Amino acid sequence: MLQIQDISVSYGKRGALALKNISLEMKPGEILGVVGESGSGKSTLLRAVLGCLPGEGYVSQGDILFEGNSLLTCSGEEWRRLRGREISIIFQDSGAMINPIRRIGSQFVEYILTHEHMSRREAWNRGAKMLEGMGLPQGERMMRSYPFQLSGGMRQRVGIAMAMTFQPKLLLADEPTSALDVSTQAQIVRQMLKLRESYGTGILVVTHNLGVAAYMADRILVMRQGQVVEAGSREEILGNPKEAYTKELLASVPAMGGERFV
């Protein structure tokens, strides 16, 4: 489904490379966890896939293929078709993306209508249903709420519900639980696993919390300073890490929801 072939990313011509020779592959429905310290290039990797590197960022070599087609040569029109429908993204704090002074419902309806033709009523119902599917009871009431009336965990569920509206094949998640308390973290992680079960969504989840990756991911990729340190199945990385850096990460895993998954 997704193939990243030996890409490098640089922010501006003179800057050091933020990513160096990264390759990875994801099968449909697979969950890949990308872990590494702050500044290791995790967000850069996600943004490169989505074609939205900030500032002067650009892919200086290599290619990114989604279902066999290069994403690097996509036109604006092609991206409009892909984003949201085939590939979706959620961030650390979806609350920051949601306008705080507009009701959830009006934003959700607008989001749906930019991607699909239907009546406002239908879009509203679809939104409410998605919210309930993400474990938010009373979708209707949520739709009528303002973001500031919701907890951080609820807002994150809203963000994920929006991202999943069109059942994308690939969900890119950048620190989806990092802004949440540990018990909410565990709930959101379980909810994301359910999404994979229900829709077969492949998830590329970036996290500095190896516990989250350990719980969710089929495979784990460890990054440091823009390079892949080590990659393998969850069992390989957790049970038999080869690199000293991976061992260091493993030794410093926080507990999640009162449990340690590593």
Ligand X SMILES: Nc1ncnc2c1ncn2[C@@H]1O[C@H](COP(=O)(O)OP(=O)(O)OP(=O)(O)O)[C@@H](O)[C@H]1O
Contacted by 55, from ligand X, Mg ion, none: CB < 5 to 8 Å by type: ligand X
Q: Which of 10, 40, 43, 165 binds Mg ion (CB under 5 A)?
A: 43
Binding segment for ligand X (CB under 6 A), chosen from 33-41, 77-85, 120-128, 183-191, is 33-41
Question: 219 Cβ partners below 8 Å, 6+ apart?
Answer: 30, 31, 32, 33, 231, 232, 233, 234
Using CB under 6 A as the binding rule, whether residue 44 contacts ligand X is answered as yes
User: In angstroms, rounded to a whole number, what is the distance separating the alpha carbons of residues 171 and 165?
Assistant: 11
Nearer to ligand X, 57 or 159 (CB): 57
Using CB under 6 A as the binding rule, whether residue 41 contacts ligand X is answered as yes
Contacted by 83, from Mg ion, ligand X, none: CB < 5 to 8 Å by type: none
Binding segment for ligand X (CB under 6 A), chosen from 34-42, 71-79, 94-102, 182-190, is 34-42
Using CB under 6 A as the binding rule, whether residue 54 contacts ligand X is answered as yes
Using CB under 6 A as the binding rule, whether residue 38 contacts ligand X is answered as yes
Using CB under 6 A as the binding rule, whether residue 55 contacts ligand X is answered as yes
Nearer to Mg ion, 8 or 43 (CB): 43
Nearer to Mg ion, 43 or 246 (CB): 43
Using CB under 6 A as the binding rule, whether residue 40 contacts ligand X is answered as yes
Contacted by 11, from Mg ion, ligand X, none: CB < 5 to 8 Å by type: ligand X
Q: Which of 20, 42, 169, 234 binds ligand X (CB under 6 A)?
A: 42
User: In angstroms, rounded to a whole number, what is the distance separating the alpha carbons of residues 166 and 217?
Assistant: 22
Using CB under 6 A as the binding rule, whether residue 165 contacts ligand X is answered as no
Using CB under 6 A as the binding rule, whether residue 208 contacts ligand X is answered as yes
CB 64 → Mg ion: shortest distance, Å?
18
Q: Which stretches of the chain bind ligand X, using CB under 6 A?
A: 11, 18, 36, 38-44, 54-55, 57, 208
Give the binding site for Mg ion (CB under 5 A). Answer: 43
